[in-house]
């Protein structure tokens, strides 16, 4: 049975995955001929569910929030049909970017911040929501309240995550 996960547990999982899989993340980043975002999402979910075992979190990929049919969130955690959503275990909506170009990742982050703020404003009236950006890039990525998880990997890919400073209020 899926379990609820807190924001801190998700951040711990991201850090653990990044530390354990940095060489593989670097290799995926350097593959030629296509994007690696979907690979990163699936690879993280494989690692997370294996790492958590019987405590695997409730999640859904490509989650569409009811009032926003045009927007799918990469991973949503704590699905209300599976677990009790409350202030300790909010509905966590993540948007991922895996881009070699830091400027493109920064611009994508700004777009995702706006979308996540709007969804939190609308859906937050009926359910606790925690928005989160997850960005992988070998170049510097800028957005408000960003944090860098773990040390820089050998190949130079950084893992950036949002914080409460990214989504004030």
pLDDT (tens digit per residue) in 107-146: 999 999 999 999 999 988 888 999 999 999 998 899 999 8
- Predicted confidence at residue 35, as pLDDT, reads 81
Q: Do the Cβ atoms of 61 and 46 come closer than 8 Å?
A: no
In angstroms, the Cα distances linking 85 to 4, 54, 66, 133 are 8, 19, 16, 20
Torsion of CA 9, 64, 144, 96, to 10 degrees: 70
In 10 A of CB 73, how many CB atoms? 25
Lookup: tokens for 89: 């275990």
- Least Cα distance to 63 among 78, 50, 49 occurs for 78
- Predicted confidence at residue 55, as pLDDT, reads 92
> Given pLDDT bands bounded at 50, 70 and 90, which one contains residue 153?
low
- Predicted confidence at residue 66, as pLDDT, reads 81
- 26 by DSSP, 3-state: which? helix
Could you report the per-residue pLDDT of 18-53, keeping only the tens digit for each? 999 989 998 999 887 668 999 999 999 999 999 999
- Predicted confidence at residue 14, as pLDDT, reads 96
Long-range contacts of 72-81 (CB under 8 A, 24+ apart): 73/119, 74/37, 74/41, 74/134, 75/41, 75/45, 77/5, 77/10, 78/4, 78/5, 79/2, 80/127
Does residue 71 register a pLDDT over 80? yes
Does residue 150 register a pLDDT over 80? no
Beta bridge partners of 98: 136
Q: In sequence order, what are the residues at sequence separation of 6 or more whose Cβ sits closer than 8 angstroms to the Cβ of residue 121?
A: none
């Amino acid at each position: 049975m899926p379990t609820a996960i807190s924001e801190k547990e998700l951040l711990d999982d991201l850090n653990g995955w990044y530390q354990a899989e940095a060489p593989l993340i670097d290799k995926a980043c350097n593959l030629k001929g296509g994007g690696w975002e979907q690979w990163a999402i699936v690879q993280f979910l494989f690692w997370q569910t294996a790492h958590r075992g019987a405590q695997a979190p409730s999640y859904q990929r490509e989650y569409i929030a009811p009032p926003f049919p045009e927007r799918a969130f990469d991973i949503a955690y704590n699905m209300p049909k599976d677990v009790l959503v409350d202030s300790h275990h909010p509905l966590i909506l993540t948007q991922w970017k895996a881009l070699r170009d830091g400027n493109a990742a920064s611009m994508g982050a700004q777009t995702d911040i706006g979308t996540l703020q709007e969804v939190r404003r609308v859906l937050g009236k009926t359910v606790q929501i925690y928005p989160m950006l997850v960005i992988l890039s070998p170049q510097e990525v800028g957005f408000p309240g960003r944090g860098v998880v773990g040390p820089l990997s050998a190949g130079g890919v950084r893992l950036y995550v949002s914080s409460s400073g990214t989504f004030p209020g």
